[in-house]
Structure 1
């Protein structure tokens, strides 16, 4: 494996710090936001709607920020601005406890929060240049941050109260914003004439369109897990602390994938890695929905997070980086985020609320396994 120059090494640690803090915030929101909303006596449908709003803005915000970033050539400037505004609006969770006010707070917070990461991903790939295979080793620090937040906060909320959630979230956002100043605000000058296709022509290519649809379906299939897994485990008699360790186990498996990603890319085609990841995703949701009363099976299902998120995300984002180059790079990353985590996440969480109220875990995860199966068929036929 080729070594990074000393100059590259000193530029990588600020990237890792930001990933660590950004995903620490994600490790706060995904496991515990629904639990906090449940403590406010919201119904499953209302929780599903609020979680959907949290993800829906990812359809629009990254694309707007992607245009601004590509035109200015300064992605970090736009990352800083988006993170500051997210921190500002998140304070609404400290102030409000009524449904519509929380909905507005999540709408405004998530718009700017979701706008930042695709531009940071674009910046990271540009800085890595020919060393793109090292992305996983930088990104894994985000997974470590997620684990740290899940475990520490699981202990904290069980010892004290889930009512601390809004304050913890605001403090973490302050650290995330501060970490953006560790990264150099570098201006990138793109040579647009090197690309023979415009942005819409790239999207219309069958393999690109198929990847976007597959990413949408895979992320949609995670909607029930992200919205109700903590509630599901507590309903089964699992403590908040052990539930936190279950979340952490999934991310530990994800870290292993990121660490070995460079070797996997050398040994297998990206297409085959995507097919394997989706097939294991179908298996994961089947086990989580049908065998949730058996801790051993849940432990195994959580290990499959290595495939359903880690392996799929790392493979898909490499294809996106390959498809969208030059002046289209930021917009391509934004489109991927919007179609997968944005639209897919929002639709998945919205459906999850109604499915959970109608049939609980068994019905909800059966539906998500079906969505993942559709993604597998599309990927097998069209993703190259």
Structure 2
């Protein structure tokens, strides 16, 4: 148990440091060579691949060969990012997304199976990795593509720990979405509502006279809330079934976006709204994983679709829709979208 906890914690730390590089620094690196429209296409490749890949596993099973192939091809694809060819980089991001759709849900399944309600105590290292990478490397002027490659290699070496026979399971049962259709529908609406936050939170605050430096702290408050709840959620989350926490989290997410709409420019109240990230992400994510783990036999495929639908398909839609809706009423619309997900769960 201790060995698994250490291996999982290290994997999460490295993987989300890698994601931090991808989200925070790499778009800026490529902006030197490509237009904003091309940047948008490049960084849509990974979530699209995460959405499409799980459909292959209606017939396939993740085994040692597939898992090792995903580790190998993701490293190969990361080296392709060094070139300046738009189509080759697009292919590389798509291939990385497909590999992540195999590797990450598989390890998430192991984490839930081994740690149960203590999952958050390992997952918190991912939040720490993301936050520390963003803070520390913001002071360095380096080529973040090379850092991405190094982190990919280190992350995948850590993932090799889970290549042992005792972790590789023969699961080939299909997924029936209808037995939990309300959850899947609510998940899509929940993640669509995040589009306005990820794409426009900083811009929205700047337009309401909140200084750039304060915006950095507002982002940090959300991550800190996420970290703290991951550390303590094992003490209370098992007192109620996962669906209870899923409903509460979606409802509070709707309230969070409503606060951004009603109190635009109010630093204190926006900071308070950021504390709700503890529910919007941490509690929701853990509860969703526990819920899927309990109702589906093919647990790995369930996690693949959770990541693909929620953080692939819905994230892509959320990004597009938030661009269409952007304006003074953006977060009112996002609040209504999240509230629709809550009402469906009822």
Q: TM-score, normalised to structure 1's length?
A: 0.78
Q: Which residue does the alignment assign to 1:22?
A: 15
Higher helix share: 1
Residues 304 and 171 of structure 1: is their aligned pair in 2 closer, same or farther, counting only changes over 3 Å?
same
| CA distance, structure 2, for counterparts of residue 270 and residue 53 of structure 1 | 32
Within 5 A, what are the aligned runs for 1:45-64? Answer: 47-64=39-56
Unaligned 5+ residue runs, structure 1? 1-7
Q: CA contact under 8 A between 1:19 and 1:139: conserved in structure 2?
A: yes
Aligned length, in residue pairs: 345
CA apart distance, 1:367: 3.1
CA apart distance, 1:298: 3.3
CA apart distance, 1:322: 0.2
Unaligned 5+ residue runs, structure 2? none
1:132 and 2:106 aligned:
no
SS in 1 for 2:44: helix
Q: Which residue does the alignment assign to 2:110?
A: 123
What RMSD, in angstroms, separates the aligned Cα atoms of the two structures?
3.1
SS in 2 for 1:259: helix
CA apart distance, 1:115: 2.7
Q: Which residue does the alignment assign to 1:5?
A: none
Q: CA contact under 8 A between 2:47 and 2:308: conserved in structure 1?
A: no
Q: Which residue does the alignment assign to 1:199?
A: 174
Q: Which residue does the alignment assign to 2:164?
A: 185
**Which of the residues 307, 310, 313 maps onto 1:343?**
313
CA apart distance, 1:34: 4.7
Residues 372 and 65 of structure 1: is their aligned pair in 2 closer, same or farther, counting only changes over 3 Å?
same
**Which of the residues 288, 293, 305 maps onto 1:316?**
288
1:212 and 2:189 aligned:
no
Within 5 A, what are the aligned runs for 1:91-102? Answer: 91-96=79-84, 98=86, 100-102=87-89
CA apart distance, 1:375: 0.7
| CA distance, structure 1, for counterparts of residue 215 and residue 83 of structure 2 | 28
SS in 1 for 2:138: helix
CA apart distance, 1:350: 2.7
SS in 2 for 1:199: coil
CA apart distance, 1:38: 5.4
Q: Which residue does the alignment assign to 1:332?
A: 302
Residues 337 and 39 of structure 1: is their aligned pair in 2 closer, same or farther, counting only changes over 3 Å?
same
Q: CA contact under 8 A between 1:52 and 1:347: conserved in structure 2?
A: no
Q: Which residue does the alignment assign to 1:370?
A: 336
Q: 1:64-110 CA distances to partner (integer Å, 9 max, x unpaired)?
A: 3686444x3x4xx6444323322322334332275x55433322322
Q: CA contact under 8 A between 1:24 and 1:149: conserved in structure 2?
A: yes
Within 5 A, what are the aligned runs for 1:274-293? Answer: 274-288=246-260, 291-293=263-265
